[in-house]
Amino acid sequence: METKIIDGKKISEEIKLEIANDTKSFQNKFLVKPGLAVVLVGNDPASSVYVRNKEKSAIDSGMRGKTINLPSTVSEQDLLNIIENLNLSNEIHGILVQLPLPSHISQEKIVEKINPIKDVDGLHPFNSGLLSAGTPRFIPATPAGIRELLIRSDFDTDGKHVAILGRSNIVGRPLANLLSMKSNGGNATVSLCHSRTNNLKDITQMADIIVAAIGIPNFVTQEMVKENAVVIDVGINRVESSLHKRGYRLVGDVEFETVKLKCKAITPVPGGVGPMTIAMLLSNTLQAAKLQCA
Ligand X SMILES: NC(=O)c1ccc[n+]([C@@H]2O[C@H](COP(=O)([O-])OP(=O)(O)OC[C@H]3O[C@@H](n4cnc5c(N)ncnc54)[C@H](OP(=O)(O)O)[C@@H]3O)[C@@H](O)[C@H]2O)c1
Give the interface with ligand X as residue ranges (CB under 6 A). 142, 165-168, 170-172, 193-197, 200, 213-216, 234-237, 273-274, 277
Measured CA to CA, the distance from residue 108 to residue 106 in angstroms comes to: 5
Residues in contact with 62: Cβ distance below 8 Å, sequence separation at least 6, in sequence order: 20, 23, 24, 27, 33
Q: Is 121 a catalytic residue?
A: yes
Smallest gap from Cβ 287 to ligand X, in A, equals: 19
Choice between 50 and 155, CB closer to ligand X: 50
**E strands of the chain, at which residues?**
4-5, 35-41, 64-70, 94-97, 161-165, 189-193, 209-212, 230-233, 237-240, 248-251, 265-266
Q: 86 vs 165, which CB is nearer to ligand X?
A: 165
CB 100 within 8 A of CB 75: no
Minimum distance from residue 201 beta carbon to ligand X (Å): 10
Looking at residue 217, its amino acid is P
Residues pairing with 36 in the sheet = 65, 94
**Least Cβ distance, residue 96 to ligand X (angstroms):** 13
Give the nearest distance from C-beta 76 to ligand X in angstroms. Answer: 21
Q: Of 5 and 216, which CB lies nearer to ligand X in the complex structure? A: 216
Per-residue b/e over 134-152, b at no fewer than 16 CB within 10 Å?
Answer: eebbbbbbbbbbbbbbbeb
Say how many C-beta atoms besides its own lie within 10 A of residue 290's C-beta: 16
Nearest approach in angstroms of CB 157 to ligand X is: 19
User: Toward ligand X, which CB reaches closer, 12 or 157?
Assistant: 12
Q: Residues 34, 292: contact at Cβ < 8 Å?
A: no
Nearer to ligand X by Cβ, of 2 and 240: the residue is 240
Catalytic residue among 16, 54, 66, 118: 54
> Catalytic annotation on 54?
yes
Catalytic one of 22, 98, 233, 262: 98
Catalytically active residues are: 54, 98, 121
